[in-house]
Structure 1
Amino acid sequence: MKAINVHLSEYSKHEVPFHHYFGNGLDSYIIRLQVEGVCEALVDGYIREIVPGDLLLFKPGDIYDLRIGWLDEGANLSLDYYVISDGPGMLEWWEQKKRPTLAKIAEDRRLKAVWHQIVLEKRRLDGGNPNIITSLVWSLLMLIDRAIEEVPDNQSPLAYHALRMRQFIEEHASEALTLQQVAQHTGLSISRAVHLFKAHFGVSIIGYAQQLRLSRAINLLNHSALSLEQIAAETGLGSYAYFHRLFRERYGMSPGAYRKKR
Structure 2
Amino acid sequence: MPKITPLDITSTGERRILDFRRRGWKDVLVAGKYQYRRTREALAAHQHKDMLEIVYCSKGEQVYEVGGRLHKVKGGECFVTHPGEWHGTGTYPEGKGELYWIILRVPEKGNRFLQFENKSAQAWAQQLKQLPRHFKAPPRLKTLLDEVFTLFDQDRSAFNHIELQLALATVLQSVIKSAASRPTRKRSARLSQVDSYIRQHPDEWITLQQLADHTGLSLSRFKAWFKEEAGVTPLDYIMKFKIEHARQLLRKTAMPIAAIAFETGFQNAQYFATVFRKYMGMTPSVMRKQS
Give your verdict on TM over 0.5.
no
Query: TM-score normalised to the size of structure 2?
Result: 0.34
TM-score w.r.t. the length of structure 1 is 0.38
